[in-house]
Amino acid sequence: MRKIWVIAVREYLAAVRTKTFVIGLLMMPILMGGSALLQYLFKDMVDVRDKNFVVVDRIGNKGLTDSILQFMDVHNKTLTVDVSTGKQTKPRLVVLAEEPAGTSQDEIDRQRFQLSERVRKGELVGFLEILQNSKSPNQVKLRYQTNRPTFMEFPIIAETTAAEFLRKKTAEKLNIPSESIQALSKPTSLENKGLTNRDEATGAITDSPDQSRFASIIVPMVAMIFMFMLVLMGATPLMQGVVEEKTARIAEVLLGSARPFEIMMGKLLGMVAVTLTVSAVYLSGAIWAAQRFEVAEYITVDFVLWFILFQSLAALMFGSLFIAIGAACTEMRETQNLMWPVMLLACLPMFLIGTVIRDPHGPVVRGFSFFPFATPSLMIGRISAPPGLPLWEPLLAVALVLVTTVFCVYCAGRIFRVGILLQGKGANLKEMFRWVIRG
Amino acid sequence: MITDAVIADRVTKRFGQHVAVNELSLRVPAGVIYGFIGPNGSGKTTTLRMVMRILHPDDGSIQVLGEYHHGAANDRVGYLPEERGLYKTMKVRDLLRFYAALKGSRDSDALIASWLERMGLSDWAMKKVETLSKGMAQKVQFIAAIIAKPELVLLDEPFSGLDPVNAVVLREAILDLKNGGTTVIFSTHDMNVAEKMCDFLFMIHKGVKVLDGTLQSIQEQYGLDTVKVRWDGNGELDRWPGVVKVTDFGQYKELRLERGGDTQKLLQELAARGRVTHFEVAHPTLHDIFVRIAGAAETTHH
């Protein structure tokens, strides 16, 4: 036991006392939230050049066209400029009306082609046509053509403006006050709430605080990705270390002082300690951030404890597999051939991440969450997704993972014992299997 | 009190079809310097690894410090492997502390400091191993092997890579160890060093023992059959009756005589045919014995 401790301490210090570790610690939030971070950093760098559009009224409703043009004018003056500084914050949507070229299909097509050419040249972003809706005579059809289908601000505003105008006109015609029209067009509103609780002590019945999408999406997703990255970040250097020790003949010196199993366990425990250190840093950061942004109730003590437990088991399980790979290889290049099955197992929860968010307790996710290699990540995703799980499920999963971990460590030990002195050519999966069986 | 540090009894080790060590038996008395000599690929390193319990014999047994299997005794055995086995990014002092702790040695700082000073490495205590030269790394490796004050030390080619000055430092350290009661087994293919330092010699060739005993007893097996001569005469000495082989070293020639050859007669013959400025009757050197055996084995093999 003492030797395992001595080796574990050495491995731990060797890992954390490096620049790579500290940089990696800082890089992880950037890697995970990279795009969000970039967007935040660059949010002020918006393209504020004018965006030009054309409106063609083919139904002769001048009032409708004018309402769109007027609204755009107001929009440009008030919503695209910072009134205090006069600085342009968003691009202006500059709209001009164009007369329809004619009523025949040929003339219409030709006008559409000319306008399309102007879009291709970059003079316009798109053009809107106001048409008769032949299927539904009471509705107006708006037809928008563009080669930038992701920029929908103009057609959406135009549609809303047109709808509002037409509603008002109908109300006037039918002599209905405009408030009634509002009630007609949007008669319902939706409130999302949690469940109602009864306080055991006082008997008081209260509503839960409002549900936040944060809990059901962000926390499980971040937790799962974090677990995945932690395991990979810890296990890969472990494998590299074993290969290096073999090539540098350190393995031989170590074997002169400790048994192969002691060496392997020391390395594994050192690695688990490294991942726990990283976890501690990030969990503290997350808890601090959660408190600052007042979403602290989503990171409970239970969740933290489960996370630490599953993460340690994942580290042991995958760590032992990576050690086995390192022991079977004589140079780093060879590890790539053997790594793919383990990587596949590690990535499995990531393939299911969408399903975990959408349906955390559905049969697919539930089933896979008992598959030991996917358990740590999937279970933590399920635990953090409301409404949580009955206790027996994670407990059973832990038991299965423990058994699997012991099995993996045992097999890795047998592979390590033979492989660590291997020189020359690396072993393939078949040979490794033989080592496990026959030793 | 153990009388023998190591007892190997008909040990065999195979790697696939290749038999690296074949029914090897040896006895290393406690407190001696025991030389393991033989060419590359002869089975020296394999045997040492079996003594260290890194490898296990396929047949036979090895008793080390009274134990037959890997046990507590392993902590009392130090090992210097043939190749450097040091963590490059560790500092020298931390590395030595690590290897000492692994063998169960606590509070080794004072001992580490004194060995570093003795080896001229005090200034390098806080430097990373990768900054050391080959010779310095070898010295650090040596300290790592003995830092836990082992009873038995195995040194595989300890002098390789050392310049003459460092070789002297190491030699003196080994002698000190022996004087302190430590048993030292060292393997080498430098016969010169082996001759001078070892109390006992064990020669291994193609996995089999070919010589075993003190230098004296080994040499006595061959008798005084070597003559070193400096002679200015002409003549193909190897055709002379009684002369088995002639080795020309430029400055002098070394003649091997038949068993029971008459050295006085040879001297007279030489003097009659030229000036003799040096005539020395000696035992064959270890190097010579080795070449004879290895050569003979090659011939038999073919």
In a domain, A335, yes or no: yes
Distance (Å) from the alpha carbon of A281 to chain B's nearest alpha carbon: 25
Give the range of the structural domain holding residue B266, as residue numbers without chain letter.
Answer: 224-282
Tokens of A393: 């499920």
The tally of domains found in chain A comes to 2
User: Are B129 and B253 members of one domain?
Assistant: no
User: Nearest Cβ partner of B83 from A2, A3, A249?
Assistant: A249
Of B55, B85, B104, the CB nearest to A250: B85
Residues B28 and B101 in one domain: yes
Is A144's pLDDT higher than 70? yes
Contacts of B90 in chain A (CB under 8 A): 14
How much is the pLDDT for B183?
95
Q: For residues A330 and A432, state if they share a domain.
A: yes
- Clarify whether residues B117 and B262 are in a common domain: no
The answer to whether position A192 is within a domain reads: no
Residues of B in contact with A18 (CB under 8 A): 89
CB contact under 8 A, A249 and B85: yes
Is the domain of A350 the same as that of A396? yes
The CATH number covering residue B211 comes to 3.40.50.300
Instruction: Enumerate the residues of chain A whose CB falls inside 8 A of the CB of residue B55.
Output: 421
Residues A327, A398 within the same domain? yes
Preceding peptide of A91 cis, ω within 30°:
no
Burial class (CB in 10 A: 0-12, 13-18, 19+), A315: buried
3-state SS track over chain B = CCCEEEEEEEEEEEECCEEEEEEEEEEEECCCEEEEECCCCCCHHHHHHHHCCCCCCCEEEEEECCECCCCHHHHHEEEECCCCCCCCCCEHHHHHHHHHHHCCCCCCHHHHHHHHHHCCCHHHCCCEHHHCCHHHHHHHHHHHHHCCCCCEEEEECCCCCCCHHHHHHHHHHHHHHHHCCCEEEEEECCHHHHHHHCCEEEEEECCEEEEEECHHHHHHHHCCCEEEEEECCCCCHHHCCCEEEEEECCCCEEEEECCCCCHHHHHHHHHHHCCEEEEEEECCCHHHHHHHHHHHHHHHHC
Sequential pLDDT tens for chain B (302 residues): 568 889 999 999 998 888 999 999 999 999 999 999 888 788 888 999 899 888 889 999 999 998 888 777 788 999 998 887 899 889 999 999 999 999 988 888 999 999 999 999 999 999 999 999 988 999 999 999 999 999 999 999 898 878 888 889 999 999 999 999 999 998 987 888 888 889 999 998 888 998 889 888 888 887 778 888 898 887 777 778 788 888 888 888 888 888 777 888 888 888 888 899 999 988 888 888 877 777 765 555 44
Please indicate whether, in this complex, the C-beta atoms of A14 and B87 are within 8 angstroms of each other: yes
| A57 and A110, same domain (yes or no) | yes
**CB B58 within 8 Å of CB B20:** no
CB contact under 8 A, A258 and B75: no
A253 with B104: Cβ contact below 8 A? no
State how far the Cα of B81 lies from the Cα of A249, in Å rounded to an integer.
8
Q: Considering CB atoms only, which of B54, B87, B103 is closest to A255?
A: B54
Tell whether ipTM is more than 0.95.
Answer: no
Residue A73: give the domain boundaries: 51-182
CATH number of the domain that A71 lies in? 3.40.190
- Looking at the fold, whether A276 and A418 belong to one and the same domain comes out as yes
Interface test with B, best of A20, A247, A257 (most B CBs within 10 A): A257
State pLDDT tens for residues A344-398. Answer: 988 888 888 888 888 888 898 889 989 999 999 999 888 887 777 888 998 999 9
Distance from CA of B271 to the nearest CA of A (A): 58
Question: Do A165 and A255 belong together in one domain?
Answer: no
B273 and B149 in one domain? no
Residues of A near B (Cβ–Cβ under 8 Å) read 2-3, 6-7, 10, 14, 18, 248-259, 421
Residues B196 and B62 occupy one common structural domain: yes
B152 vs A contacts (CB less than 8 Å): none
Number of structural domains in chain B: 2
B180 and B275 inside one domain: no
Proportion of chain A in helix, strand, coil states, percent, rounded to 5:
65, 10, 25
Residue A324's nearest CA partner among A386, A260, A278, A385 is: A260
* Residue at which a domain ends, from A182, A204, A229: A182
pTM, 2 dp: 0.76
CB contact under 8 A, B85 and A7: no
User: Which chain B residues touch A250 with a CB distance below 8 Å?
Assistant: 85-87
